[in-house]
């Protein structure tokens, strides 16, 4: 319908903002409320089934006000999800995860533990938006592209370097790095996903469970 692909799109704008430094600083109180309501409703019903009128109502603003701040409903979705997508896979840029990837890191085990703890806390804190992200990625090609470029940049870049580093140090077995990364990532994602999404109400001992994950991975990869 709309969507001239050559003109600069919403995601590019968001990227620029994020890269430039800080994001949407000057959100008015109304804009803030719109975003919060949108998160709630996108989470409950999914993007396609959410209506802007319900978002406006819950935010306590007029319908038109949403479109003053966000050109389309999709822009509203992206303004919620894209920054999260970036923060999820660009912990360096955001700054709350930097030391982990420092190759001077003592051991692979410490690295794993640090990544797990850090990303688990992050996911826990931002669960609703991450959920929306997961729910909408199948339907939004723009999100998917953003996902791949984010992941490629991080995994293809730093993570491979990390794996090579520890393999050269002889700490872990010399698997193809893509396979190796997928192994430990699967276990960590398996834990975080089960913990937060699938069985959030189970009786969890987080510390013990995380330690078991680390032990399992370390054994599995022991050189």
Partner DNA sequence: GATGAATGAGCATTCATTCAT
Partner DNA sequence: AATGAATGAATGCTCATTCAT
**Residues of the shown chain interacting with a second copy in the complex, contacts defined by CB under 8 A:** 45-46, 48-49, 131, 134-135, 138-139, 175, 179, 182-183, 185-187, 189-191, 194, 209, 212-213, 215-217, 219-222
Using alpha carbons, select from 78, 65, 75 the residue that is nearest to residue 34.
65
Using the rule CB under 7 A, is 33 a contact of DNA?
A: no
Measured from the CB of residue 69, what is the shortest distance to DNA in angstroms? 6
Measured from the CB of residue 185, what is the shortest distance to a second copy in angstroms? 7
Which residue's CB is nearer to a second copy, number 100 or number 221? 221
Identified binder of DNA from the candidate list 32, 53, 98, 103, rule CB under 7 A: 53
Using alpha carbons, select from 108, 91, 89 the residue that is nearest to residue 165.
108
CB of 167 closer than 8 Å to CB of 76:
no
CA separation for the pair 89, 94 (Å, rounded): 10
CB of 223 closer than 8 Å to CB of 172:
yes
CB atoms within 10 A of CB 150: 19
Query: Distance of CA 109 to CAs 66, 80, 84, 184, Å?
Result: 47, 34, 27, 11
* Total chain residues near DNA (CB under 7 A): 22
139 binds, among DNA, a second copy, none (CB under 5 to 8 A by kind): a second copy
Which residue's CB is nearer to DNA, number 2 or number 219? 2
Which residue's CB is nearer to a second copy, number 115 or number 217? 217
CA separation for the pair 198, 99 (Å, rounded): 30
Measured from the CB of residue 117, what is the shortest distance to a second copy in angstroms? 18
Q: Where along the sequence are the contacts to DNA (CB under 7 A)?
A: 2, 28, 30-31, 50-54, 61-69, 71-74
């Amino acid at each position: 319908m709309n969507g001239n692909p050559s003109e600069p799109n919403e995601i590019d704008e968001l990227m620029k903002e994020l890269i430039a430094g800080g994001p949407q600083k000057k959100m008015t109180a109304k804009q803030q409320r719109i975003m919060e309501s949108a998160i709630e409703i996108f989470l409950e019903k999914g993007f396609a089934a959410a209506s802007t009128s319900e978002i406006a109502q819950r935010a306590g603003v007029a319908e038109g006000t949403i479109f003053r701040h966000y050109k389309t409903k999709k822009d509203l979705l992206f303004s919620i999800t894209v920054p999260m997508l970036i923060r999820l896979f660009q912990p360096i840029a955001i700054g709350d995860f930097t030391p982990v990837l420092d190759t001077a890191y003592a051991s692979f085990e410490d690295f794993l533990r640090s990544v797990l703890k850090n990303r688990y806390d992050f996911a826990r804190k931002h669960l609703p938006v991450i959920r929306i992200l997961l729910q909408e990625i199948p339907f939004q090609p723009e999100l998917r592209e953003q996902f791949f470029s984010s992941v490629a940049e991080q995994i293809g870049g730093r993570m491979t370097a990390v794996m090579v580093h520890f393999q050269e140090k002889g700490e872990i077995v010399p698997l193809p790095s893509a396979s190796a990364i997928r192994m430990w990532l699967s276990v960590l994602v398996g834990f975080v996903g089960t913990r937060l999404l699938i069985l959030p109400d189970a009786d969890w001992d987080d510390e013990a469970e995380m330690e078991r994950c680390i032990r399992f991975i370390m054994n599995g990869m022991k050189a």
